[in-house]
Structure 1
């Protein structure tokens, strides 16, 4: 099977938007505390653009903190799911490489699980264009906590099944370099650990909403998830999985 392109993987979420919305993890309050700290301003009253907003998981949290949020989302399926969940939030179609936003129009740009779908050579100049003086760019990712033994074992099984580099999948500290390969921004970094307890079916549905599964064949994906259920029932015989995440947060401020 030919490896899917990055564009194909990025578009794959549109057909699984409802699955994504129902099963993907959210983010802890401590993450938004860290965003405020590193951005140097409260979210309340801030003009925020949540780019690659998807189904609106981060958008909802930002609004709950009192931010004035506009969402930017390129995918039709994800945008439709967003509108069902957040009918009162402005949503514009677009992506981080060509932001459909006016120059110097926002205090904060956020990318929750989305910056890796951009081309930094384009998305960084776009971010600097739309940020107001002293504004901030915040990027974050929920990362599986690989120091938890069962999570490390599951990650190794997944990497082997899909022909990924097992050791590369275990590496940390790569987001900062990949986010800004030219070193144009001065990113501050925080890691925020949190966990959630979910039914096994929800855990597996979350896995299945990732692009590596969505772009594989239904047969291979189904076979993996069936086998993984057996592995996990040995660790969680009550059928409730405790997931642990480290949110990798990068924040850079624009010149005042």
Structure 2
């Protein structure tokens, strides 16, 4: 299966993605270990759709033996720059460039929705060892926070009611698309970060929909957001709240 232009769009924003995207709280990996029934320390883990290595770095810190798989050359180059010791291969979840039965855990951090489950499910099962685990997670803004709900609504209007991979208003929606042939256990984990307003806006600009929209329209939207959010956060520090939707299935 060919990777879509929208999925490929991240390559043009690799540097900003690495600098401004939120990572994930350690509690996500705690939950992965619980649901997988094994520690990540010492495990062979393939991080699929690794991007610039946000999840890869956390897995390595946890003690996992990580291989990163990323389809975008520019994103992969950024990962290599930040994590030079991590083995890295170009590829995607629909056709994994990995040996059969060779990994204990496969992780897809903010990446599973870019795959075709008709291909990615059998590929994941092929690569996992017996008893291995498939871990999928997404990081979404917490739409129970009023200012975030209002921003989500503006994003929805801009993108015709669908703000794509990054702005799902209801994080439980992530679980509705899970492959029914696998028995997933799920968790939702709330967390927060405080960032400069510029970082918040730069993160928005790395959303695939903005990357496809074009600079002029993107800049116009972000300028308006800057004015609105300055009124909410006059000190220039945005208090972001996020919800991670995690799903883990054992082979």
**Shift >4 Å, 4+ stretches:** none
Kindly state the Cα deviation for residue 148 of structure 1 after the two structures are TM-superposed.
0.4
Give yes or no for contact 1:159–1:169 (8 Å, CA) kept in 2.
no
Structure 1 residues 5-14 or 122-131, which shifts more?
5-14
The aligned runs of 1:69-218 (5 Å cut-off) are 69-165=66-162, 169-180=168-179, 183-218=180-215
Q: Distance in 2 between matches of 1:176 and 1:6?
A: 23
Equivalent residue for 1:245?
242
Q: How far 1:117 sits from its partner (Å)?
A: 0.3
> What residue number does 1:44 align with?
41
Among 215, 218, 222, which residue is 2:219 paired with?
222
Q: Tell me if structure 1 keeps the 8 A contact 2:171–2:243.
A: no
Q: For each residue in 1:207-226, what CA deviation from the matched residue of structure 2 results, as whole angstroms up to 9, or x when unmatched? A: 00010100002110000000
**Post-superposition shift, 1:176?**
2.5
Q: Deviations over 1:63-118 (max 9, x none)?
A: 00000000000111101111101111000111000000010000000000000000
1:6 to 1:126, Cα distance in 2 relative to 1, 3 A? closer
Change (3 A) 1:165 1:63: closer
Q: How many pairs align? A: 247
**Structure 1 residues 165 and 88, CA gap change in structure 2 (3 angstroms):** closer
Q: What is the TM-score when the length of structure 1 is the normalising length?
A: 0.94
Deviation of 1:178 after TM superposition, in Å, equals 1.5
Distance 1:172 1:28 in 2: 16
Q: Is the 8 A contact 2:137 2:244 kept in 1?
A: yes
> Taking structure 1 as reference, are residues 87 and 141 closer, same or farther at Cα in structure 2, changes over 3 Å only?
same
Question: Equivalents in 2 of 1:177, 1:199: separation in Å?
Answer: 34
Q: 1:172 to 1:202 in 2, by over 3 A?
A: closer
Alpha-carbon distance between aligned partners in 2 of 1:162 and 1:104, rounded to the nearest angstrom:
41
- In structure 2, what is the Cα distance between the partners aligned to 1:86 and 1:213? 27
What whole-Å deviation, never above 9, does each CA across 1:187-235 have from its counterpart, x for those lacking one?
Answer: 0000010000000000000000010100002110000000000110111
The answer to whether the 8 Å contact 1:136/1:253 transfers is yes
Cα distance, 1:14 vs structure 2: 0.4
